Structure 1
């Protein structure tokens, strides 16, 4: 960290307790004008929920940047700008910030969909009393696709619900204290037994369009698909065909396209519950984000290892994206 190095923050520095002394903190949350010369920025914290165009815009001029820090779990919104960065730049995500909120929403979507809460709300608007039997979560099999920190947090919240089984699936096989994590190549054999499939996988070239017609066809009749990952993980047209027939239902916090246009058929598709990408932005976000930034910047100033390093530019990990 040189004496002239800047740190760009999407929050005012005075609102973040524990920031180290030394850097010049610049507030930038995606406004048209930059707060200072991007060439002086050593640590860039990407504005939260401002989209890829904003996230990438200063990168070509950040010739001295050493760290790019997202406040999201996913990094897909900054990937288009990675090739613009000099070698040796560390890209860090916000692991530890969003797990609780996203897992809460995943559970909310599962329960609301199974128990018919959207129908109750519509009936309440009309003053109608609509009873009847609804599916329970108890005794069901839930498959979690993308067993990272968010997938694990989803399992934390599912455990008290007396499930028949939780199936964990990730890119490669491994063993955890809770049981095995299956490789993604096992999906064809696992999907037919799942009553609920929860998507928590990051968006990569390997997962884009992963939930296609073939994937959905392997899901059992009456199964529920829950997406709290990224919209393009799911083939929207294929999903529309399945929910339109009534064979599957879906609860989606993310969609493709996003935001979903008012005329899009997903809004009116039977058995579909949509929330507007609200898995992360809750009251839990700011305290956790501030703690992460204070810790990361303290590590940076002290030249200690950073947390949550996803890749370093100019390396094999960078080229594999």
Structure 2
């Protein structure tokens, strides 16, 4: 009987009925599975690291699908077994991450964090801040999360431009190519990063691109820290020319004494874009569909490597 493994008891308890001929099992990939020859689908834990764990995955000869709970998959492909398909968590974190992107922008522009510091100090300073409405927002990365982010900024009455690896028409929007970024940057008030981390996007936002942004522009990163040249960003922040609102950094977590702990005009959250109370139910929705596909012999969803 094919086994589908989930990393936590809670997920198995909340899963509900499974198709005939499929068994659910709890496996956190901290030790070899007791019945490796029967495991067909494995959902990795939400935070997964350690080469010894990957060996346990490789030891599953009948594994058909390795399911990631994250939209990003660059961390898994080099270690995934060649005989299994790999699927990402596309659709799980769209709303969560889009909410945070807008929230980070508002926190920075409306100085929400600074007002809380004033509160702690007993200071009442009703100063003028910047509105998000009417800002020119460039969203870099136009997958499912990028589209969700663009829609939300449009709802905030922003002028939104979207950018991806290739230029195209999609969802009624003109998608610009990465090569157009230097030109687009010159008229960008808020640069939002949600592109996957690839060889092409590593340090896509380098010193030259940051320099092309106008004075006072805001960089919002909900993608991966390595999409940005951190040293170049720190230099711009220390000069006070740009602002940043970051959910991801390089390195991550930040080391003690790293400049980003103290740069001005900076809002920082600890990579929580996909970490809300929606994560578990959305993950279960996807896994139920994957289990049904397994039982019915249909293709799996979200396959990024076959």
Q: TM-score range by the shorter chain?
A: over 0.9
Summarize the alignment of residues 59-78 of structure 1 with structure 2, pairs less than 5 Å apart.
59-78=57-76
Q: Deviations over 1:56-106 (max 9, x none)?
A: 342332232111110111112212203xx234x211111111000000000
> Would you say the 8 A contact 1:63–1:86 is kept in 2?
no
Instruction: Compare 195-204 and 211-220 and name the one that shifted more.
Output: 211-220
Question: How many angstroms apart in 1 are the aligned matches of 2:29 and 2:114?
Answer: 39
Which residue of 195, 200, 203 corresponds with 1:201? 195
Q: State the partner residue of 1:317.
A: none
Call closer, same or farther: CA 1:53–1:113 in 2, change over 3 Å: farther
Q: State the partner residue of 1:126.
A: 121
1:301: Cα distance to partner? 1.5
1:55: Cα distance to partner? 6.0
Call closer, same or farther: CA 1:86–1:161 in 2, change over 3 Å: closer
Q: State the partner residue of 2:145.
A: 150
Summarize the alignment of residues 93-132 of structure 1 with structure 2, pairs less than 5 Å apart.
93-132=88-127
SS at match of 2:72: coil
Q: State the partner residue of 1:255.
A: 249
Instruction: Compare 125-134 and 274-283 and name the one that shifted more.
Output: 125-134
> Would you say the 8 A contact 2:33–2:56 is kept in 1?
no
Q: State the partner residue of 1:86.
A: 82
Which residue of 2, 11, 14 corresponds with 2:8? 11
> TM-score normalized by structure 1?
0.90
Question: How many angstroms apart in 2 are the aligned matches of 1:169 and 1:296?
Answer: 31
1:160: Cα distance to partner? 2.3
Call closer, same or farther: CA 1:228–1:57 in 2, change over 3 Å: farther
Question: How many angstroms apart in 2 are the aligned matches of 1:48 and 1:186?
Answer: 35
Call closer, same or farther: CA 1:162–1:134 in 2, change over 3 Å: same
Q: Any unmatched runs of 5+ in structure 2?
A: none
**Runs of 4+ more than 6 Å apart:** none
Question: How many angstroms apart in 2 are the aligned matches of 1:35 and 1:77?
Answer: 22
> Would you say the 8 A contact 1:72–1:94 is kept in 2?
yes
Q: State the partner residue of 1:219.
A: 213
Q: Any unmatched runs of 5+ in structure 1?
A: 313-321
Q: State the partner residue of 1:278.
A: 272
State whether structure 2 residue 237 is matched by structure 1 residue 239: no
Q: Deviations over 1:14-61 (max 9, x none)?
A: 321243232332212243x23424444221211112336476342332
Query: What is the number of equivalent residue pairs in this alignment?
Result: 304
> TM-score normalized by structure 2?
0.94
Instruction: Compare 116-125 and 17-26 and name the one that shifted more.
Output: 17-26
Instruction: Compare 35-44 and 209-218 and name the one that shifted more.
Output: 35-44
